Amino acid sequence: MIKVKKPFVNLEQLKEITKEYPTPFHLYDEKGIRENARKLHQAFAWNEGFKEYFAVKATPNPTILKILKEERCGADCSSLTELMMSEQVGFSGDDIMFSSNVTPKEDFELASKLDAIINLDDITHIEFLEEIAGIPETISCRYNPGNNFKSDNDIMDNPTEAKYGFTYEQLVEGFNILQEKGAKHFGIHAFLASNTVANEYYPALAKILFETAVKLNKETGAHISFINLSGGVGIPYRPDEEPADILAIGEGVRKAYEEILVPAGMNDVAIYTELGRFMLGPFGHLVATAIHEKNIHKNYIGLDACAANLMRPAMYGAYHHITVMGKENEPHDHKYDVTGGLCENNDKFAIDRMLPKIDKGDLVVIHDTGAHGFAMGYNYNGKLRSAEVLLKEDGTTELIRRAETPADYFATLDI
C-alpha cells in the first residue's frame, strides 16, 4: 500500500479558497507554524538564553515573520533586502543574526545600523567590517572544521567542499584580532549538513562546537557567550520517512552541553538555532490545477504551476508528495509525469509517480513547500510568481502576497 501525506486543508475548504484566489498559489498553515515554534522552544527550554533565528531566506514574507516574532523567534538574515524586511517587521538589535558570505559593503552598513549580531564568514571580513562600520562588542565567527562530518560513523557531509567559514587556526587568530579591536563577547556558528532528519545531527554538531569553544576560550581568553547550531534539521518529504524528533534533539544537545561546557565553567553559553525548513516546510502547500493531459511515450499531467513556483524538483531532483484533492482514497493506479509549462524538460514536479486518475480541473496539492518554495521562484520564460495565502487559525484566509502581473514583469524596463 502506498503511504500518503494528508494535506492541512480539505477539498471543500480549497474550493472556497480558489474562488477568491486563482491557482497556482502557496498556502501556509498558521496553526501548524505556531505549534511547531512552541515545540522547538519546549525542546530547548533547559537553556536560559536559547533563541531561534528563523532563516528568512526560506520564506521571506513579512506576515510569516510577524507570526514567528510573536512566537519569540528572531530573524536570520543573509542579505540587504532580508535585513530591510526584518527591520520593517520590527526586528532589531540582537533579534537579528546577520550571516552572509562575499558580503557587500551596504549589507554590513545596514546590519551595523540595526545593531544586528554579525556573524563573519571569513577572516578578511574583520578588516573589511572595521573600515565600514567598526567592530562591535558582540560578534560571531563561522567555523568550518574541514574533513568529513560524521555522526555515529556515518558521513553526513563534507565541510572541506563548503565555501563557508574560518579554519580553526583562523578562529584563534581572528578572536585575538577582534579582542584587540574591542570585541568582548563572541559567538561560534557552523552549518555542516543540510536537511537531515537524523536526531543525531544537532547533538553531533553541538559536540564539535562545544569542544571548539572550550579550546578557543583557553587559547584566546575570549568570552564565548553563544553557540549557533545554525540550520540543517530537515523534514520528511517522503511519506515513508520519519520526522526528526525535536524533543529528542534538544535533549541530545543538553547532554553534550553538560558533558563539555559545564565542566569547563562555561554554563552561561546561550544556544541559538537558525532553522528555516524545519520551521516552515511542512506548513506550506503549492496549490495548482490540472489543465492539460498528454499521452505520448509517457503519460503527462500539466499543471498551471511550474518550476518557477517550486524549483526544488527541477534543480535537485527533489521529491515532493502530491495529493489529488478529493481522490485521496482512490487507487493510485496511473503513472504520470506531473509537469509545468516551462520550455525546459526538467520542469517536472514528479516523474513516473503513481497517482489516482487525474482529470482536467482537478485541484492538486504539492506538499512541503513552506520553505524554499516561493522563495526560490523566478521569472524564466516570463512566468509570473504566484500569490501567497495564509490559512489562519480561525479557518479564514488572508492574502499575504499578491500574484505578480505583467506590469510587474515589465516594471524595470523602459519600453
Phi (first) and psi of residue 258, to 5 degrees: -75, -25
Residue 363 pairs in a beta bridge with 289
Which domains can be identified in the chain, with CATH numbers? Answer: 11-27+282-410 (2.40.37.10), 30-281 (3.20.20.10)
Rounded-to-10 torsion of CA 210, 211, 215, 218? 60
For the chain, count helices (H), then strands (E). Answer: 12, 19
Residue 206 CA, chain-centre distance (Å), reads 19
Bridge partners, 391 (sequence order)? 29, 397
Tell me the H-state helices in 221-273.
246-260
CB-CB contact of 229 with 209 (8 Å): yes
Are 2 and 354 contacting, i.e. CB atoms less than 8 angstroms apart?
yes
Q: Which of 6, 28, 27, 71 is nearest to 275 (CA)?
A: 71
Residue with cell 552549518: 191
Q: What is the pLDDT of residue 156?
A: 42
Task: Give me the mean pLDDT over the 108-132 stretch.
Answer: 96
CA-to-CA distance for 241 and 223, rounded, in angstroms? 41
Residue 161 binned pLDDT confidence (cut-offs 50, 70, 90):
low
Residue 415, pLDDT score: 81
Strands 96-99 and 74-77: what pairing? parallel
Confidence of residue 236 (pLDDT cuts 50, 70, 90): very high
pTM of the full predicted structure? 0.94
Query: 185: how many CB neighbours lie within 10 A of its CB?
Result: 15
244/242 Cα distance (integer angstroms): 7
Q: Residue 106 pLDDT more than 80?
A: yes
pLDDT at 117 over 90: yes
Question: What's the mean pLDDT in 124-149?
Answer: 91
- Would you state the pLDDT for residue 93? 97
For residue range 207-217, list pLDDT tens digits in order. Answer: 999 999 999 99
State the sign of the Cα–Cα–Cα–Cα dihedral 347, 56, 407, 400: positive
| C-alpha dist (Å) from residue 137 to 122, 127, 223, 359 | 18, 15, 11, 62
- What mean pLDDT is reported for the chain? 94
| Mean pLDDT for the stretch of residues 247-251 | 98
Asked if 69 contacts 90 with a C-beta cutoff of 8 angstroms, the reply is yes
pLDDT tens string 370-390: 999 999 999 999 999 999 999
Nearest CA-CA partner of 270 in 80, 87, 51: 51
Cell reading at 181: 579591536
| pLDDT surpasses 90 at 92 | yes
Distance of alpha carbon 71 from the chain centroid: 17
Catalytic residue among 73, 141, 306, 343: 343
Rounded to the nearest 10 degrees, the angle between the axes of helix 80-89 and helix 105-113 is 20
Interatomic CA distance for residues 223 and 242, integer angstroms: 39
Residue 147, all three cell numbers = 574533513
**Which range, of 151-155, 171-175, 226-230, 257-261, averages the lowest pLDDT?**
151-155
Q: What pLDDT shows up at residue 298?
A: 97
- Residues in the chain, how many? 415
CA distances from 351 to 316, 346, 355, 371 (A): 13, 10, 11, 22
Residue 343 annotated among the catalytic residues of the structure: yes
DSSP 403: P
SS3 of 1, please?
coil
361: nearest Cα among 301, 294, 285, 286: 301
Indicate whether 141 pLDDT > 60.
yes
